[in-house]
Structure 1
Amino acid sequence: MSPLNSTSTRKRGRPPKYQSAEERQAAKITRQRNQRQAAQAAKRNTFFDEYYSAGPSATGERPIALVPGIAALSVTHELEELLPPLSPNPAPLELEDSSILIDEPPLELNSLEPAASPTPNLPEQSRPTHSEPLEGDLSNLETGSPAPAAAEDGEDVCTLARVLADQLYQHHGCCRECYEQACAAHQETHSVYTGLGEYVDQINIAGDFPDVLGSATIAARESNLAQQVTKARKQQIYCGIDPHKPDESPTHLCVAADHRPDPSLGVTVDIDSVGGFVSSLAVARRGIRWHPTQMAVSDLQSSLHIDPVSVQYFDSTGQAHHVRRPVHQVPHYTFGRLIGFEDLSLYLLFPRLYREDQQSSRLLDQDFQQWTDEILLPIINRCYSGDLIQHYPSSFDHSRLNATARGVEMRSQRVDPIPREQLLAYFLPPEALPTIWEQILEATHRPGFHQFQDLKILIEGKNLKTLTKADTLADLMAGFQQHWQNAINEDYLAEPFFYDLGKETCPTTASERERPPQSLLWRRCCLNAYSQWIHSKQPADAPHALQHFYPISMLEDTGSLTLETRRTSPQRRAGLYYSQFYASVKEVFAAGNTYPFTNTATETLALDPQLRKTWQTVGGGLSHNPIALNRAYLTTKQRCHAALQGSVPKVFGLREEHR
């Protein structure tokens, strides 16, 4: 072949923009997503302008200047569509309100019931969550009564303070006479029974049950685990039916049989969490460690039992709606943490950015970019001197790209679909914080920024129990105030502001060698008795608290209890919103607010692989990644196995918390 012919076969023109078809498809999806988000943001802005704007101001107010050099780059990593939807809380077992009032002698501390834990098979703990009937419009919400007189409020507060102090010093559960009567009735009903520890020892003797948690892999079909254990053996373990005497009544499991008389118990008090709204950023006495970017997933994941916030949105027809939503469902982001008390987070809530079809409470990137570039950064640049501003990011894109620099720019092989982000932080001195907040509120009332109106500041700190734990209430308040006053200016706290006062009862001995493994569990009867006692401290016509009982590992007589006061009750007016009683053994399985095997998508792992592929190809019915689900399932198993093995020599106590 001649040189002329060889050169004519070469491809001319620009090099390909995309290296593969997958990369081209990903870019197409990104463009379409950005177009949809831009259209949605423009439509919402049009609604707000038409609904709220009152025309140009007669005073000719000068708008906030924009930072020079801001490029209108499209954002390519919106997480709204990638996050799972907000799941409803599991429906708890509701107890009937009892009108029986008791006035019995207080239960002594040593009558609290411990259950032995000689093996790693500790009882599983149901998550003591709070079921919130907050979905729907205002008409579905319980409305409060008119504000009572100041004298009545003061009397309710004093009464509540005495009642809680009494409870913290001495638990009000079943009286001794009631306990003896219950034991006698139990003996008559169940003459033959066994304890939990003895039962576990019996079923472990045969040793023919496969250790599923200890395996680091998913069993193959060839393993045939289902046939390794006979039907009779399964009935014996799960139902208590003796395979040699199948016609007799099942074995009755009695937790009281594991009672250890007169255990050595220690009692401590603590403040487990704090939270509430504040009126200004100036609440941070020593300044704020400011985050210029959003977290990928917010750490505000519950309502905190705070009254729902009024939000508004426009539906597809342009009709405005006003509803109330719990704080974690209101669009928000973590503005930063408080210097001097880094356990406290500060959130900014945007009620007018609520979306009817939102799957997460994260701000859309277009909204967050406008907030950052047109409101927040210009105000910060005006309120601080140049020697500080030089260290701050210059724009939304600048801070976003700084956050992804380490996760993107240092890669040479694998590319993540969503770049890993660093949560960078910058110090905002306290002197200018009052001015910054005043100018933010002023800016939200200018044309084009009405969607940022009704902005709220929420501060919240949780899991403070180990930091604030003390032996007496006096020591608790002294230690807590040392942290609190160092970081918080209480002049800016809004009412109501909540403190979770906790009490912990735990087995204690002089030395670790003398400390046998054991767990304390709440008795159902003692929790019911407390519910009746606390209600008896109100007027007879006061509404009963909303009460939920959560059994532990299908054990009838033990569990956790939550009590939420009604909006019209005297105790709610006095400041008590919520009480909960639970066993600390739940922390064996709880990783923050993540509990084992709560990922509902793992159900698809049980499907036949060929069936799953057919559904995905033909109907598009499944959108789960099998690799991700396999990893989630195996990691959960490993976490449970490691937690159980490491918790065998521990002791676990009881907690109660009152907000």
Structure 2
Amino acid sequence: MGIQWYTQSHVTLNLVDNVHLSMEIPGTREQDGTVTIQPLHNVPNYCLGRVIGLADTFIWAFFPALFSGKLSDPYSQTCIPRKNFVHWYEEVMLPAIQAVIDDNNILQYIPKTHAIASSDCSAPREALAALEVAEGEEADMEEELGGFTGAKRRDGAAALPGSRRKHFYVTLQPRYLAALWEEIYSRASPWPEYAGLRLYMAAKNTKLTWMRPTFESALAEWQHHWNSAVDEAYIDPEVTYIDIGRQMTPADTGPHGRVLLWRRCCMDRLWRRRLQWSRIQNRLYHREEDACKDDSGKRQAPPIRRTTYPFVTLRDARDMTITPSSSSWELRNGLVYSQFYNLIKVPFDAAKQYPFQNRHTESMALDPSPEYNVPTV
């Protein structure tokens, strides 16, 4: 069904979450054959477009040759420098489209320069003026109501620049996509900054789209839409996985609702059982015990590792992610990761703000009086 191609990079669409996949950084191979591997969410990327026909499914282009080290800010880490993106648009992407789509009826909709494409993404001045008026009215109302309208305060953080830009896109028909990617790859190959160029497709937050009473019915519905929108001939099965979730909801208890939370003791017990099972499987397949020491005599790491997350400042509430190592039996047989989390975390995920992970948490302890908040020398 084609894709909606975003003519500009939008930082808010950068892939910054851990998707449990990695890629090689070009030019880092040592004499002993070792190379630098980085998770996808550390590699510069931009959202190339959205897949038509699949809910919330996007395609990203990754530029591993532009990786220059880890930064504290994930968006700065993954952003493509402006000069590189201008070159990408005008020397690779646009010429490739013009070479493959030999139809002026379609080409007339394609911005002919990066500057034009950037202008197309700018919000109209009328919309900006209306936005400023609305923000002023909301700020006045907030002051009258004591700051409980949900709007940002006048002295609050300024809006992100991306909030005043549109996700302008051009629809590219499916009949052109295969030849277009080959042309893009061919034109990008002479430039060292595009070495290792790779596409990645993913969908997220689709629980309500595919949720069904049984796993079989959910998979059948998803497979129907997948087959109508994607040609699997262009999918690498070695780095493709389906995220399957099982949701447990308490039965209706009348006017008094209940909330189920994963407890720390349950997570610890589950982890011990899973680690024991993993070691047995890896021993049987000569992944752990038969090679439990490397050439230096040091014991290798366990075949799986876990990450736990404290939840809403409760001592016994936990979330947990279990990730197999790159050489583990589980990963070789298709299990990428296991995750156990509480559904009530959704309100916290909406703002991406968590207790003790916000750099401004200490300000909660400050006296509200201005005279006590003036720093002293």
TM-score (norm 2): 0.74
**Which shows bigger deviation, 381-390 or 353-362?**
353-362
Partner of residue 331, structure 1? 44
Q: For the structure 1 residues 395 and 588, does the alpha-carbon distance in structure 2 shift closer, same or farther, using more than 3 Å as the test?
A: same
Q: Structure 1: which 5+ runs fail to align?
A: 1-285, 314-320, 619-659
2:63 aligned with 1:350: yes
CA distance in 1, matches of 2:340, 2:127: 49
Match for residue 295 of structure 1?
10
1:574 counterpart (315, 318, 333):
333
Task: Work out whether residues 311 and 330 of structure 1, in 8 Å CA contact, stay in contact via their aligned partners in 2.
Answer: no
1:48-127 alignment, distance < 5 Å: none
Q: 1:306 Cα shift? A: 1.2
Does the C-alpha gap of structure 1 residues 565 and 387 become closer, same or farther in structure 2, counting only changes over 3 Å? same
Distance verdict in 2 for CA 1:390–1:417, change over 3 Å: same
CA distance in 2 between counterparts of 1:435 and 1:611 reads 66
- Of 205, 223, 227, the match for 1:463: 205
- Amino acid of the residue matched to residue 391 of structure 1? Y
Partners of 2:355 and 2:361 within 8 A in 1: no
Provide closer, same or farther for how the CA distance between residues 603 and 534 of structure 1 changes in structure 2, counting only shifts above 3 A. Answer: closer
Provide the C-alpha distance between the structure 1 equivalents of 2:255 and 2:48, rounded to a whole number of angstroms. 45
Aligned match of 1:144 = none
Cα distance change of structure 1 residues 612 and 402 upon mapping to structure 2, 3 Å threshold: farther
Q: Secondary structure of the residue that 1:590 maps to in structure 2?
A: helix
Task: Return the index of the structure with the highest Cα Rg.
Answer: 1
Please, what is the CA RMSD of the aligned residues? 3.3
Residue aligning to 2:247: 504
The answer on whether the counterparts of 1:303 and 1:326 sit within 8 Å (CA) in structure 2 is yes
How many residues end up aligned between the 2 structures?
319
Mapped to 2, the partners of 1:437 and 1:583 lie a distance apart of 40
From 117, 139, 143, the equivalent of 1:399 is 117
Q: Please, which of 174, 199, 207 is the counterpart of residue 430 of structure 1?
A: 174
Q: Is the alpha carbon distance of 1:393 and 1:602 closer, same or farther for their aligned partners in structure 2, counting shifts above 3 Å?
A: farther
Checking the alignment, whether the CA contact within 8 Å between 1:333 and 1:349 is kept in structure 2 is: yes
Structure 2 counterpart SS, 1:561: strand
Does the Cα contact within 8 Å between 1:441 and 1:453 map onto a contact in 2?
A: no
- C-alpha change, 1:409 and 1:369, in structure 2 (3 Å) is farther
Aligned partner letter, 1:498: Y
1:214-363 map, 5 Å: 286-312=1-27, 323-356=36-69, 359-363=76-80
User: Which is further off, 293-302 or 601-610?
Assistant: 601-610
**More contact order relative to length (CA 8 Å, sep ≥ 6):** 1
SS in 2 for 1:355: coil
In structure 2, relative to structure 1, the CA distance for the partners of 1:592 and 1:479 (3 Å cut) is farther
- Cα separation, 1, equivalents of 2:212 and 2:59: 26
Residues 56 and 204 of structure 2 are in contact (CA less than 8 Å); yes or no, is this contact kept in structure 1?
A: yes
Partner of 2:90: 373
Cα distance between partner residues in 2 of 1:576 and 1:503: 15
1:364 is aligned, of 81, 93, 97, to 81
Is 1:522 the counterpart of 2:251? The answer is no
Does the C-alpha gap of structure 1 residues 524 and 387 become closer, same or farther in structure 2, counting only changes over 3 Å? same
Whether contact under 8 Å (1:348, 1:456) holds in the other structure is yes
User: Using a 3 Å threshold, how does the CA distance of structure 1 residues 430 and 412 change in structure 2: closer, same or farther?
Assistant: closer
- For residues 254 and 167 of structure 2, the distance between their equivalents in structure 1, rounded to whole angstroms, comes to 45
Query: Offset of 1:405 from its aligned partner?
Result: 4.5
1:391 partner SS? coil
Structure 2 counterpart of 1:518, which letter?
R
Unaligned runs of at least 5 residues, structure 2:
29-33, 133-157, 289-301
Contact 1:407 1:421 in 2 (8 A): no
Q: Please report how far the alpha carbon of residue 356 of structure 1 lies from its aligned counterpart in structure 2 after TM superposition.
A: 3.8
Matched, 1:440 2:174: no
Cα distance in 1 for residues equivalent to 2:127 and 2:259: 50
Deviation sequence 1:449-486 (CA, Å, 0-9, x none): 22112110011111111111122222121111122112
- CA shift, 1:370, in A, is 0.6
Q: In structure 2, what residue type is equivalent to 1:376? A: M
- 1:333 to 1:392, Cα distance in 2 relative to 1, 3 A: same
Query: Residue 63 of structure 2 contacts residue 198 of structure 2 at CA under 8 Å; is this kept in 1?
Result: yes
- CA shift for structure 1 position 519: 0.6
Going from structure 1 to structure 2, the CA distance change for 1:559 and 1:382 (only over 3 Å counts) comes to: same
State how far apart, in whole Å, the 2-side matches of 1:498 and 1:413 are. Answer: 42
